[in-house]
Structure 1
Amino acid sequence: MLAMEKLKLKNKVNIGMSLRTQIYGLIFLLVSISFFARLIIDINTTKTYFTEQMSVHANDAAINLGLSISPYTDEENLVIAETMISAIFDSGYYHSIRFVDKKGNTLIERVNPLTSQDIPPWFTSMFELPRVPESSEVNNGWNIAGTLIVESHPGLSYEKLWKHAIDTCITSLALLIISLILGYFILSAIFRPLKKLEKQAQSVTYKKFIINNDVPFSIELRTVTKAMNNMVRNLNSTFQSLSEHSESLSKKVFQDELTQLGNRRAFENQFSATQTGMNKDDVSCLILISLDSLISINKNFGFAAGDNYVFEVKNIIQKNFNFSQESEIFRISGGTFILMLSVSIEYRQEMLEHLSRDFSQKKVTELDSPYARVSAIDYHKTCTLSDLLSQLDTSPHEVDIISNSNLSAISFTQWRSVINHAIENKEINFSVQPIKNNLKEVEYYELFSNVLYNNKPLNNNQLFTMAERLELTVELDKAIITGLLAQDLTRYDKPIAINLAKQSLYSNEFIFWLESISKIAKEKSLKLIFEIKETVIIDSQQKAAQVIAALKKLGFRVCIEHFAINLTSIKYLQGLNIDYVKLDGSFISNLKCEENQYFLRTLITLSHGLGIKFITCLIEDNETYDILIENKCEYFQGRYIALPYRIGSEA
């Protein structure tokens, strides 16, 4: 009920009428009133004229006819008078002619019906002509013989009045149409600059800063246009300045200067964030690539040769791992790269073999030493980073930590059947975690889906990595969304956020499918938010903008998660009609550092300046929460804020 009331309230707020429609409607109303008023006044004026004409006509007839019959008013000659009256009456111009004596007795009477065959009854009823009888005394010598009463027939006047009304209506209607056409073109010319101003204002809400170079002729509109342009320039300048500043801070604090990859601090933050989000049975992998020959190359061939060597290794690593959304590469020291990888053991082994093969094809012949040394280790939630790095640094080969995780039992060849089984049977558990504001009010819920295999939940990172490689992500996302809508969601009056994979986001068929989902969601009074990884947006910014616009048109909200993780310019936000950004959890782990807080404040200011709500996640303690409050963060997510809970259970 609460959701329905809020939906009705929102619909009431959205009800409105454009200025163009209001003015067009007002002008049409005024012109229509003018048209009908002119028509009625003109007909009434003509009616008055015809009434006067009938009165004059009847008066003339009474006087002239009275003089003509005056010698024949005696009883013996009254037949002659009657004949003369009949001759005049038969002309058809009179309704009645009556001759009465001094005592009021009717001596002669002729009456013609008032009906007019060609005139609509409604017209004669609306514009009824008054009856105007005229009389004249008839003398017989010096004596008054009686009174002659004459009333003109209104039929002819009605015919003329009807014809005049039709002519006036046609003329007035023609003038009305011409006036409306001229008014339309004049108003269109006036509204054209207003339409551009409206488009410019809407573009600002979509994070686009467009300058309107078409300066209108009207002084008032010209002033508004110039003011709007100045505001847009200032906004754009502020955005560019803050964006460049945040990029500069990001590079300084979290980026390796040579390779543009994340540095050791970025890696440590990301590792901490990843571990915080892991479940007890989850397993991920670290891969260490050591360039043992780098010092010798720098010494014997110069630093430029060493830099080329580092770049070559970086390119080989990216070629093997960049296709996976669940891999992240860092350069933590001069000759050391490290990868964070969340894939199945068999798949990881295949990737390592490809990487080792590529390295084996390279050789530093001048030094007769290995091109690069690769070692890997699995880790879980309780492992310490120092122990893992120590084991990697001293191990010449891959080291596995034994785990009871269900994932280890799934081979690469089994993943297709596992995912298809999950899609067909929708064996998925759904949990949500609230995102709240500083008043502890829920903004929305983030959905966590746990796909089951052998009654145990699969690791989502590994599941979606394999689904992506097997091109099953679209169907998996459909199964998750369909499964969610099948739940009892009546208690959720706030939106629920669902993560969208890259393949789903850029699938035309999937976006078309979401049209039906939007209708089902509206029927359930459920609002949906789609969370999209920043890396997915950056990979294809133009296409992403089009897809996000399509999602917004369907009534969905959009959030960019893992915001700022790419350590690149965040100017890509310009032109994206998004509602939220969710800061990557790696930036939360070391907020005591003033440098990190300054970077955080810059991102918050930038987001607020674009009208985007800023969310921080992985908040585990009160100290972190207080720091975020001090830095003007507005929305929060983490175990300190609220624990995740199963849909259908008590929060």
Structure 2
Amino acid sequence: METVAFEHSTEQLSQILFEVIHLVSDETELSEVYAGIHKQLKKLMPAANCIFIRLPEDKSGFVIDYYADECHQVPLRELQTLPRSRLDRTLTGLMLTQMALCHFRRAEINQMIESRQIEAIGEVPTEWLGVPLMLDDRVAGAMVIQTYRDDEGYNQQQKQVLNVIARQVALALLLFEQRQRLADGERRLKEEVAARTAELKATITALRRNMEERRAMEARLAHQSLHDSLTGLANRQLFANRLQQALRVRERERREVAVIFLDLDHFKNINDALGHDAGDQLLKVVAQRLEAATRPNDTVARFGGDEFAILLTSIRHRNEALQIARRIHTELRQPVILNGREVVPGGSLGVSTTELSEARSEALMRDADAAMYRAKARGKQQVCLFDTSIHQDVSRRLFLENELRRALRQQDELFMVYQPILALSSGQPVGFEALVRWQHPERGVIPPDVFIPVAEASGQILALGHYVLEAVVSQLKVWDDSRFWVSVNVSPIELLHGDFVSHMMRICQRHKVDPRRLHLEVTESVVIENVLSAQACLRILQEQGIRAALDDFGTGYSSLRYLQTLPFDYIKVDKAFVQVLSENNMDPIVETLAFLRQRIDKKLIAEGVETLEQLTILQHLHYDFAQGYLFAKPMGADDVPGFYRNFNFSACSQPPKRQLQ
């Protein structure tokens, strides 16, 4: 500490300096430190007016940490707003520039104000004393005292004391800055920790949300992979999983398991007539009805299209499964409104149980499918329980499939026969219906109503149809007789196959046969179930000059509405309606067609004519053509030319004895 000659006692000065050092070292607010120092200064010199200024290290401005003035009562916050440039043009700014203690009296201050060396702020003091606060070579601030009284002033000793105290104040500034940097570092650290914590929380929240979204998406994908998107029912995979599980439980609980297969009848008609949206709506209604008709623990599934399956678990007896199947059948038959039209859905149901089938999922599904096809074969809208007879039918059908495939490959067992078609007006043959036959080497002649459905079900009908067309067209070339035509039965799969017409035309061109000598017979059910597709194909045939007949007329369920719109040349009445004709029994289908004959502009062919009485009735109803055993049974190709030359209509017919009423 410097030795200072002073009017106060050394002990008093030491005590004051001790208080200043104590204030500086105390970790209190800087303004409180300055207030304490100001209090001590007033004990040593005229220091009622005092100001402490701090200059930040970045030189961005200045901070007034403490301010006391007797005459200039300006709020501290107002002084804080003064720009640094204004401070530079004051006595304080001049002292900071000189970086040394400065002492100015009023006259000198007024002279500097008049010369515009400085600007006055407030009243001009009698004497002004300021000292810079130095930290090494940097000016860190300023300490200024001043007096407005004429009887007060500052001597050399007081200046020395102020310099000593200024060094302690600078130390206070240094400690303040260090604490400030530490506080700032701690604050920044806390802010950084808080930011990182918030970021971590946000990341964890985002990860948790992503995980939840991923789990939800996985759950949705898992659900979608196991459920039908249209109806929300289980799909084939989920059905198979639950069937396997049910069979495992069955072994423990000794309860039976049943599988029901359902195929909607005439669903394609609804799609064609009302549109696919109506078809989708019907599928949803069916799904709801199936769930309503089954038990909570049962599984209802959609396999695709109009195929459904139901898994019944823990049933006591096969009769319980049949009861549920019949309840489903009844529930399905309730009308539903689609596009403003009432539709009565229905289906064919096949039931298999572990009582009558092997307790394996493949066997149960296979047997339920076989039972469903048995229900369809019985006329649809039926419920059929699988039994051993169906298994035998399946085995027999599988045998026929393999044998037919072999026969089509070798082509030495299949052959064609021809049944004549007569014009009733002239009594002369005008055409022949080509019929395919199968002579099996072990089982003999297999009827067409047995092997043709097998061909359709096994996907061999196209190959069989190709064989028939090839055989008939090549035979037409052999006969080389344009006076009669040959009609060929066409299956639904053939007709609706995109290549059918072009394939037939290629065969005719290869054998150099006029395609107009071919007539096609298409069953009524094919047309009704595929109206638009069948109509388009028939139009193409008509453009090629190929005539077509609507075969088996009367066996459909809404036939008359199609007669005027479909491009058929002939209507062939099914033999079931012809063979019941008698003098006392007039079939309404046969009679109605006769009355509509002119309006619909189609020629009528009656098949299955076996008696003279049937022939007589058809003649009086003005039918155009007839065929049946009354005239001739189907014959081989070699017999056709002779039959055509030698047939005598009078030998099998006589004029009617009286007119029908």
With the shorter chain as reference, the TM-score category is 0.3 to 0.5
What TM-score comes out, normalization by structure 2 length? Answer: 0.38
Report which of the two structures shows the higher radius of gyration computed on alpha carbons. Answer: 2
Structure number with greater CO (CA < 8 Å, separation at least 6) is 1
